Chains A and B, each alone.
Chain A
Amino acid sequence: MPDIWWKADPRDLHRLVDRVSSVYVERSHLDRDENAIVIINKRQSVRVPASMVAVMLLGPGTRVTHGAIRLLADSGTTVCWVGEQGVRMYAAGLGPSRGAGLLHQQAWLVTRPKERLAVARSMYAMRFPGEDVSGLTMQQLRGREGTRVRKIYRAHAARTGVPWNGRDYKPGDAFAAGDDLNRLLSAANAALYGICHAVIIGLGASPGLGFVHTGKATSFVLDIADLYKAEYTIPLAAQGLTEERDARLGLRDLIARHKLLGRIVTDVKALLTPEGTDSEDHEANLLWDEHLGTVPGGTNYAAHADLSPHGMTDNHIAVIGPDPDEPDPTP
């Protein structure tokens, strides 16, 4: 049994707020070298202070070793595999949050109409700075948001001279509308969704529990992305671009310039942890109990421990390579 002194304790890890939001890697290898996480490519090798990074975004052309992932998970760094330039997330590893604090908080807020309305209101309030929206119903907020968005479209179309015949969006077929502006807006929005999705996973919140949006597995992603469309994707699409790739690249430059990732982290945390509730993220191995609240896990609560080996031999198929010391079988 080797001594794994390098394992980090939850107390060794930085809170998400103290971390750099993301590191994007493409066309490189991620490996482990003397307990360090290394990015290696033809030009250089770089050691990543992963405990200071919230999300590692792995783009096309990356190769990751088991050792690297083990250290990243130990550092509480989320790993997201994304498409070109942070667009569309394919998969994500464990987030930096080892506890379920933020997730519980989100579930608690979303299942209580009064609290849910308050969160939805603050989402709208972020888009109407300086206006008091505290007395408005969801219906009034929706109407006001519609007016605001229409104004923004018109203003940007007038500014850039791009013809604008209204947003034509068909659910499920973002590119159906046909005209360039609609198509580019859909492309840029897809990229924005991917980035918001990565941050939400990274914080340990659920992408599915939305407050304004509901019913989709990515409802909360849509909620969060809507906060930034007016500032990022709409002005971009109205610039008269023609290629979807240009829209994605343009968005990435905007995001880097305005440090949007950090802002998304701050906004998600602010929405899910309203004033005064500090959710210090604790990892705890507990079992829920309806009377006691929680009881310690890792304990056998049976009066007579039944140690039958059933369930220990679940059928699964393993593919295991040859032992590195084994001689090659002669053909």
Chain B
Amino acid sequence: MTVIILIAAPEGLRGHLTRWMVEASAGVFVGNPSRRIRDRLWELLATRIGDGQAILIEPAANEQGWAVRTAGRERWQPVDFDGLILSARPKTQPNENSHRPR
């Protein structure tokens, strides 16, 4: 299974992706595209995402069982810790999940 997440995508890109995958929630796409089609869709997304963000999570033959690709601006970077993929957040961004101390 492949999951693609689009944030602040330019007009028409999300609609285009619905021809290949099901948009389960706004900007979250789920489907089973083949490796070839994943690569081609990603190529298109990466070139057209502009100031938005694109994240693709796909099955992979590693210990974790999945891999991640990212494109766009101000994105979190996947970091490889000896085969374990973790996400590195940019330092400048406040963590949007935390509450500000009162």
Q: Which residues of A contact B (CB under 8 A)?
A: 5-6, 8-9, 11-14, 18, 33-37, 47-52, 71, 75
Contact = CB atoms under 8 A, between A and B. Distances in A.
Nearest to B41: A12
Contacts of A47: 15, 18, 22-23
Nearest to B43: A12
Contacts of A33: 15
Closest 9 CB pairs of A and B: A34-B15, A36-B15, A35-B15, A47-B18, A35-B16, A36-B18, A35-B12, A6-B16, A51-B20
A101 B36 CA distance: 21
A49 B20 contact: yes
A34 B12 CA distance: 5
Contact of A11 (B18, B19, B32, B36): B36
B12 A6 contact: yes
Contacts of A51: 19-20
Interface residues on B, range: 20 to 34
B14 to A, nearest CB: 7
B40 A50 contact: no
A35 B19 contact: yes
25 contacts: A5-B44, A5-B48, A6-B12, A11-B36, A11-B37, A12-B37, A12-B41, A13-B37, A18-B34, A34-B14, A34-B15, A34-B16, A35-B12, A35-B13, A35-B19, A36-B19, A37-B18, A37-B19, A47-B18, A47-B22, A48-B18, A50-B19, A52-B20, A52-B32, A75-B19
Contacts of A35: 12-13, 15-16, 19
B82 interface: no
B33 interface: yes
B15 A49 contact: no
